[in-house]
Amino acid sequence: MRVELKGIHGVKKRLANGETQTYYYAWRGGPRIDAYPGTPEFLQLYTEAHARRKTPPFGTLFTLIAEFKASAEFTT
């Protein structure tokens, strides 16, 4: 089964020995994925990177708002 992942950014880099290496990132400017595309490890690292992107940074006002919206008091 083939999964189409959106936002993958590939960058080609010429190494010191003359070879060309392609590095893949979860999104442009995002964290690098250290696995080969098409492997289960690549998919796992991709989903982990996007999960971390959606969590608010700790110790900010936005964190308190997100926690309140997720609480039972907000939904009632």
Q: What's the average pLDDT block by block, 10 residues per block, for the chain (76 residues)?
A: 84 96 94 92 94 84 88 85
Give residue 51's domain range.
9-75
Spatial contact of 1 and 19, defined as CB atoms under 8 Å apart = no
- Residue 61: inside a domain, yes or no? yes
Give me the pLDDT at residue 1, please: 62
Instruction: Tell whether 58 is covered by a domain.
Output: yes
Using alpha carbons, select from 29, 22, 23, 39 the residue that is nearest to residue 7: 29
Q: For residue 60, what are the CA distances in angstroms to 20, 23, 66?
A: 42, 33, 10
In a domain, 3, yes or no: no
Full-model pTM: 0.70
Question: Does some domain include residue 43?
Answer: yes
